[in-house]
Structure 1
Amino acid sequence: MPATPYLIPLHRVGSPDIGYITSTQYAENIPFLIKRVFWTQATPPGVERGHHANLATEEVLVALSGSINVLTDTGREKQAFELTNPQQGLYIPAMCWTELHFSEGATALCLTSTDFSEEDYIRDYKRFRQLAAHIAL
């Protein structure tokens, strides 16, 4: 059965006096080996990002600053998540359509299981639904 998106706690150390460090040091929380790290910033309010699924790539998405509203669709289930805490990541499995809405000033960090490949992307929602229905059988 295909995986479902879920929230992952990230390890944090420090105090209000000196600040905090959040890391993936305890990698058992991340369900894949991290191959690529990228971030998205300066997305104008009202611009939607995402609008794709990946055939093979798994991701963990973290709102480093601001908030990100994420709509996910696995073809079986749709869920909404609000990322507002940099100590929490959203696991996005392969074959999961996403739509992202950024608050003003939001920065998103993304950890992925693969290097970038345009061939891995499904950018047509109708094609995604067809593929997802086939996988669910």
Structure 2
Amino acid sequence: MVRSELVTGVSAISINNCKLLDFSRFSDARGALTPIEGGTDAPFDIKRIYYIYDVPNGASRAGHGHRELQQVLIAINGSFDVHVDDGSERKVFHLDRPHLGLYVAPMIWREIHLFSLGAVCVSLASAHYDESDYFRRYEDFQNAVGESS
């Protein structure tokens, strides 16, 4: 179960703000179910959901950062690696179970690599799409992180 402490201190830019979330799961002979509620299971109200799929072998996704957006990334099917970077440290999370999500805090550069065949990445986002929230160039991200220090 996710708790609000994940968003406490989010203003401090650190990959340590990125955490694996283990969502509840219910299984029986009919299959499995994982509920996710904004503000309870995800540490923010969910404003947007999108998914990435049919990624060609060897392709990467993301390659950007956000000023304020928070996300939870989930491997609904298959697997992939999420590389997070706070401008000085990097870390890799392997996602391969639909009941696990990766919380990605604001001011974190993220790249998604090594998609397995049939992988589906779902993103739960804290805000509607806003191009002005994005860092599209790593250099711009690094400059903003440096200004925040």
Q: TM-score, normalised by structure 1?
A: 0.92
Instruction: Tell me by how many angstroms 1:109 deviates.
Output: 0.6
Structure 2 gap ranges (5+): 1-11
1:12 corresponds to which residue? 25
- Aligned counterparts, 1:44-63, within 5 A: 44-63=56-75
Once the two structures are overlaid, the 10-residue window that deviates more, 69-78 or 111-120, is: 69-78
Instruction: Tell me by how many angstroms 1:27 deviates.
Output: 4.4
Correspondence 1:86 to 2:98: yes
Q: 1:48 to 1:34 in 2, by over 3 A?
A: same
CA contact (8 A) 2:52 2:122 kept: yes
**Residues in 2 aligned to 1:29 and 1:119: alpha-carbon distance in whole angstroms:** 27
1:2 corresponds to which residue? 13
Structure 1 gap ranges (5+): none
Instruction: Tell me by how many angstroms 1:11 deviates.
Output: 1.4
Q: TM-score, normalised by structure 2?
A: 0.85
1:129 corresponds to which residue? 142
**Structure 1 runs (4+) greater than 2 angstroms displaced:** 25-29
2:121 corresponds to which residue? 108
CA contact (8 A) 2:13 2:108 kept: no
Whichever residue aligns with residue 128 of structure 1, its letter is F
Q: 1:127 to 1:26 in 2, by over 3 A?
A: closer
Q: Report the structure, 1 or 2, having the larger strand content.
A: 1
Residue 122 of structure 2 aligns to a residue in which SS?
strand
**Residues in 2 aligned to 1:28 and 1:75: alpha-carbon distance in whole angstroms:** 29
Q: 1:26 to 1:34 in 2, by over 3 A?
A: closer
Q: 1:44 to 1:130 in 2, by over 3 A?
A: same
Whichever residue aligns with residue 33 of structure 1, its letter is D
Instruction: Tell me by how many angstroms 1:54 deviates.
Output: 0.8
